[in-house]
Amino acid sequence: MDIEIQLATEEQKKQKPADSELVFGKIFTDHLFEVEFENEKWGTPKIVPYHPFILDPATTVLHYAQEIFEGMKAFRHPDGSIHLFRPYRNADRFNKSAERMSMPTVNKDLFVKAITELVKLENEWVPNSPGMTLYIRPTMIATEVALGVHPSDKYLFYIILSPVGPYFKTGFTPTNVYVASTHIRAAPGGTGEAKTGGNYSPTLWSQQKAKEIGRASCRERV
């Protein structure tokens, strides 16, 4: 399947940061990939200038959390070439999440081609420094405008790119762990195997609690 490409104008293009300025998930490239699903079929896949989405207040994803995503990276090798790590495995997991959330699956060849073409177009955004990568976020959201608990009849599949530094600023060093026994993220028969936002938001309470305990512990030591 061919992908239409609309290039960003010079006015739309962003200032690329130095590798030393990169953090995780705060900076995004000049283009994104998008394709809509409606009337039981996918439309025309496109790479277009990065832009915000306009959603009706009654859009399904905002009320019933019907959405999924993936996380993967493009790495620059010492010879300057750019590599992906097993993208078809990410496509498999993305489609398993889609099935669990009653969403349409994406052709795996299109999934990988969209990522490949987008990364090629944005190759100058791939960092050169060790430990720095181009983070890839394929996402699908339900876009039907309707209230009522049922699978949406419209969806948007899109991919954005973000040049990033290490997720953990200090690297993988030993750290204290807070284990929450009263709050859980997944349960038997639930959606734990799906990479959906609803599986991540329940962890925020425990994350915040751990930070509070850590701050209190620091004050006690002082």
So which residues are the catalytic ones? 195
The Cα-based distances of 129 to 28, 80, 185 in angstroms read 18, 11, 35
Q: In a 10 Å sphere around its CB, with 0-12 CB exposed, 13-18 middle and 19+ buried, how is residue 83 labelled?
A: exposed
Q: Do the strands 67-69 and 82-84 form a parallel or antiparallel pair, or are they unpaired?
A: unpaired
Residues 6 or more apart whose Cβ sits within 8 Å of residue 42: 35, 36, 104, 106, 107, 157
- Token representation of residue 58: 């009654």
Q: Do the strands 31-38 and 154-164 form a parallel or antiparallel pair, or are they unpaired?
A: antiparallel
Q: Do the strands 46-49 and 82-84 form a parallel or antiparallel pair, or are they unpaired?
A: unpaired
- Count CB-CB contacts under 10 A for residue 61: 18
